[in-house]
Amino acid sequence: MIVNIYELAIDVVNEQPDKQTIREILHEEYPHNNKGISLPSHRELLFQDLLNLGATTEMIFTTPETTITREVREESY
């Protein structure tokens, strides 16, 4: 869904510098190497880092968010 939002933004924005900024954000979120092969996303890297630090998959999925995380998430909408 996020990719669709970025693609819609690219379609509706008229200024080339703005389009380029959107493209750069999209490519940072879903990176590819110089051969076009997909690399792990920021989310996938974060998940792996948490596992490497000793968290279990269950802990990652079931630990409640902190108050500050909830506030930031709610302010984003």
Q: What does the pLDDT look like over 14-43, one tens digit per residue?
A: 888 888 888 888 877 778 888 888 888 888
Of 62 and 77, which is predicted with more confidence?
62
Q: What pLDDT score was predicted for residue 2?
A: 59
Name the burial class of residue 49, with classes exposed (0-12), middle (13-18) and buried (19+) by CB atoms within 10 angstroms of its CB. Answer: exposed
Amino acid residing at 42: H
Domain positions in the chain are 1-39, 40-77
Residue 66 pLDDT > 90: yes
